[in-house]
Structure 1
């Protein structure tokens, strides 16, 4: 309120300014306004542009004067503010006022102006300097607080899970503002510092034990770090049969079940047997020699299951005397030697199998006349203890294309056995990279036109956009061919109309154009994603850095690319209703926005030929749609010309 009162008094003086200017003459006017020699029509954009020039030359009184006059004519900060005709500028007078007040030490007014700018239109630059103001206020008040408090939402410690991905969430609280937050070294997105941050960050963690560090820092530079022990277990228990005893009409089978998460259930032919909920649990059961095939099932506390089938011959073979071969040793003595290799049996999988999943479970068994000493799956040792028989359930992540699975067993005598089979992982049609948005990257306009810095930013930005594989990026060579064919100079691509024309010629769905705004204090990168069909700006993102050097430009490009990808998530939904050429889906505003494109598809379940167990789903693309309206939990989309008439309720959609 005090800052606002000062402004009112200041604006009163501004009202007297024309008379003062006339009295002072041209020389005084030029000293106050550095760009007085330019065409000046006393409009808000004239005052704003002249204020930026004055601030860059550190003539802050003149800059404040023009910014206040600009605000009198146009109050709100915004991007693409229309000046006259089809001319637009990015207009942020409150932000620039806040920065000047900060530079001059007026922290209260600086905070008020920057907060006003963020309320009207948040930008990375305003958020950056608001943090600087808050930091200065804390030091000015002599605040000596502690580090942030971290509260993690974990069901247990250590944290056991079978989830994929593994998500870790919680809250970070600090009256001195949480300014940075990271999980396992990856920064958590925060729109400026906050006194309380609720977060959830998901990690792609493989099978096994992991130490994940969660770290929060505040504006005073103090930090808190909480280590989280995460145990990822997506495999069923390992069942080892250690002894098979002959009891006349019966056979007694003794063994141990192993599972790091703890065994909770063990059944033989659907009859529960007692187990100890620990990482090892012994078992013993009897079976008749005439017993038909056994079904053995073990489950751990996370819900991972191992299911095994054993034929009577498997048990009886272990009771027979092993084959003995006489071997003459160099000492002249004879020694009995085991000459038979272990027997490996793989459940369900054929020599070649096609699936539509990114991970599978390989189940099976291995037995030996004497003892199985070692078992590996794709080179990973999995046998917890030697035994006569072992039943396993092993989790394997698949790469797109052909995946060779090798199961190898060795008995106590060193006899090896091996089985190999191939799993072909196919990507459903709607998930193929070729179905994603095709994006053309245009050169960024630069108010400084420094070739070295332009190239450093552009190269890093293209690299970051390609590496994340969210968009199909039009190759630079293809873009150059189009420019050559239509005799368009690359420097003309910064023109919006030319960029739109090239975007359409390159058959892109969208193009990214933007600008680099350099000042003596830092550099701002602004990107606009434009739909080539409608010419509408789908998203505007920005990033800001104080460092104009190569490392700063690299970080700027990475931040901007990350923000763009965050605004275009791959979200899945379901068709709730179809009426004429419109569909309603369950994608809300948190997942989709107006004018975004959808792929509509039918899910086709795929099953293993033997057991009928599901092997994933293929997707048949039925067409495309464009979102026209987003409500709280529902979005409406217009079907495009390529859509099948078969589209209906319960079909699926995914953002293109």
Structure 2
């Protein structure tokens, strides 16, 4: 900045009359709330009033002044518009802010566009409306994808779902929302509140009932007349008996069994969980006979086996019976029976954790006879979801016009927290001061005793894809946080995202919004490879969010996508890079030279 002061001059005396000198002095006047003087300087930088020897009328995050010198955050239209806003020249302010947004969108311009629209809000306009497009009611899922739209004549400026605000920078007459809501079994209340620029708000209260427990089928026998009983923990939806549909009126339904008649039975609850049971004519005759006591029978699929799954839920099919009555059936110590029964049938949907999940079942009858069964389920999350395969990024220390130590410390902590929150979008690497330690780790991992996976991880750690450089600008009454994302190989800037705040209480929400905006630039896309002559094509294009330069892992599988293995090219994963994007497809090239590596038609790809 060429604002120079000496013993005979104040800090606002210009010793050079270039456009950037006027712009920097305008920033000082604006910070002091001297809007008239600031407006004159910003107008001079733009060439709208005389003063500057040359003018520069473009908005830039970095603008070259002379030689290799740059000015940071050059937004003269925006800053002049903000001055006019405070001087009650609303129409002029609106035009300038729109011009700024057309040239280079910024969060500060959006903030003041909202301020203007607040003033222009229609006093007698109706409050905003909320429309939920997701099916609401009963569900067997553990999460709900909540989708909908909020609309308002005065533009929707705020939207809160279950006390969690949506990130809305620029108020709009229509705001679409999409949120994954974690559910608990039973009744879930979801509250959505929309607020417009005039302060009017509307709330919608939704109720979702999550049921992950299928119905149970048991048998009750009194004086040789057995009765089959279907019950559900919440609500039965449909009984199907020998091809006939029955709508039960309660969550318990029963039917007396006739000896010698076959039985085909299925019970479905309101959420769609279903269990089936069939008895042949011989089995119904057998159940009506009086027999001497014998140990219970307990059957489960995969009994005594260790199986591997790639999805996080296992359906455990259970059937237990006894000649007298089962007193208890337990899964890992948790009771499943609600009453004594000679026959029990159910399906348990069991959430899995990564690694080995041991499922132990025990059935005990009234004579204390006990039988046990066990199955071990290894849950392996798909390899391509491992964080080491995400784009590797470094986060240099926060820099710029940091107002105080606490602001800087809090901001860095929030940035780190948002970037490392699961599921992570970037593989966050060590800062520069930690690189020596990483090099030592790499030397250790190069020994013959090291796990090859550990070596791969160290190589990836040192092979950075992106640099996320975040800086602070003091803009008038507030602060701009902006992150410039650089390609690590070329050092070329890819894009800039920013947020603006005039109250430090907004910092957590704004930092979360900043990282969300960056992550949205890198969508996770799954596709398959096709070949056209010698060219590689994937079946995802611009409509799916693919863009030129996007990088994909190559995944080979003899079965489903989740079971696939990431194809390796030497000591690093094989990558396809998009060279040309069309609407529904994209052309790709293999990154690097790998003569022994061949990508096949039918291989899967997943965005890094």
TM-superposed CA distance for 1:83, in Å, is 4.3
Where do 5+ consecutive residues of structure 1 fail to align? Answer: 1-25, 324-339, 486-502, 607-614
Where do 5+ consecutive residues of structure 2 fail to align? Answer: 48-54, 441-458, 569-573
The 1:171/1:52 distance shift into structure 2, 3 A limit, reads: same
Q: Which residue of 1 aligns with 2:254?
A: 282
Take 1:180 and 1:521, find their aligned partners in 2: how far apart are those partners?
22
Deviation digits for residues 545-568 of structure 1 (CA, Å, limit 9, x no counterpart): 1124xx544444333233323333
2:173 is the alignment partner of 1:219: no
SS in 2 for 1:58: coil
2:594 is the alignment partner of 1:619: no
Aligned counterpart in structure 2 of residue 256 of structure 1, from 220, 230, 237: 230
2:35 is the alignment partner of 1:60: yes
2:500 is the alignment partner of 1:531: no
Q: Which TM-score applies when normalising by structure 2? A: 0.81
Map 1:505-584; keep pairs closer than 5 Å. Answer: 506-519=462-475, 521-548=477-504, 551-580=505-534, 582-584=536-538
Q: Which residue of 2 aligns with 1:122?
A: 105
TM-superposed CA distance for 1:356, in Å, is 1.0
SS in 2 for 1:569: coil
Take 1:313 and 1:478, find their aligned partners in 2: how far apart are those partners?
74
2:436 is the alignment partner of 1:481: yes
Q: Which residue of 2 aligns with 1:655?
A: 607
Deviation digits for residues 259-298 of structure 1 (CA, Å, limit 9, x no counterpart): 746444536xxx5244225544434555649x8xx87644
Deviation digits for residues 197-251 of structure 1 (CA, Å, limit 9, x no counterpart): 222322232443311112212223332221111122345432222348868xxxx
Q: Which residue of 1 aligns with 2:400?
A: 446
The 1:539/1:630 distance shift into structure 2, 3 A limit, reads: farther
Which segment drifts farther, 91-100 or 235-244?
235-244
Contact 2:144 2:182 in 1 (8 A): yes
TM-superposed CA distance for 1:461, in Å, is 1.3
TM-superposed CA distance for 1:318, in Å, is 8.0
2:273 is the alignment partner of 1:304: yes
SS in 1 for 2:246: coil
TM-superposed CA distance for 1:58, in Å, is 3.0
Q: CA RMSD for the aligned pairs?
A: 3.7
SS in 2 for 1:605: coil
Rg (Cα) greater in structure: 1
Contact 1:446 1:454 in 2 (8 A): no
TM-superposed CA distance for 1:353, in Å, is 1.5
Take 1:385 and 1:478, find their aligned partners in 2: how far apart are those partners?
64
The 1:265/1:556 distance shift into structure 2, 3 A limit, reads: same
Which segment drifts farther, 597-606 or 300-309?
300-309
Which segment drifts farther, 208-217 or 503-512?
503-512
SS in 2 for 1:405: strand
Contact 2:485 2:494 in 1 (8 A): yes
2:171 is the alignment partner of 1:193: yes
Aligned counterpart in structure 2 of residue 272 of structure 1, from 239, 243, 265: 243
The 1:508/1:579 distance shift into structure 2, 3 A limit, reads: farther
Q: Which residue of 2 aligns with 1:80?
A: 62
Take 2:391 and 2:472, find their aligned partners in 1: how far apart are those partners?
25
Contact 2:557 2:565 in 1 (8 A): yes
Which segment drifts farther, 276-285 or 435-444?
276-285
Contact 2:309 2:379 in 1 (8 A): yes
Take 2:533 and 2:56, find their aligned partners in 1: how far apart are those partners?
44
SS in 2 for 1:129: helix
Aligned residues: 567
Q: Which residue of 2 aligns with 1:148?
A: 128
The 1:222/1:547 distance shift into structure 2, 3 A limit, reads: same
TM-superposed CA distance for 1:301, in Å, is 6.1
Q: Which TM-score applies when normalising by structure 1? A: 0.76
Contact 1:372 1:389 in 2 (8 A): yes
TM-superposed CA distance for 1:418, in Å, is 4.8
TM-superposed CA distance for 1:372, in Å, is 3.5
Take 2:436 and 2:243, find their aligned partners in 1: how far apart are those partners?
71
The 1:353/1:264 distance shift into structure 2, 3 A limit, reads: same
2:70 is the alignment partner of 1:70: no
Contact 2:325 2:343 in 1 (8 A): yes
TM-superposed CA distance for 1:36, in Å, is 0.4
The 1:477/1:297 distance shift into structure 2, 3 A limit, reads: farther
Deviation digits for residues 68-105 of structure 1 (CA, Å, limit 9, x no counterpart): 23334444434334445555543322221222122223
The 1:474/1:163 distance shift into structure 2, 3 A limit, reads: same
Q: Which residue of 2 aligns with 1:365?
A: 319
Map 1:365-444; keep pairs closer than 5 Å. Answer: 365-378=319-332, 382-383=336-337, 386-409=340-363, 411=365, 418-444=372-398
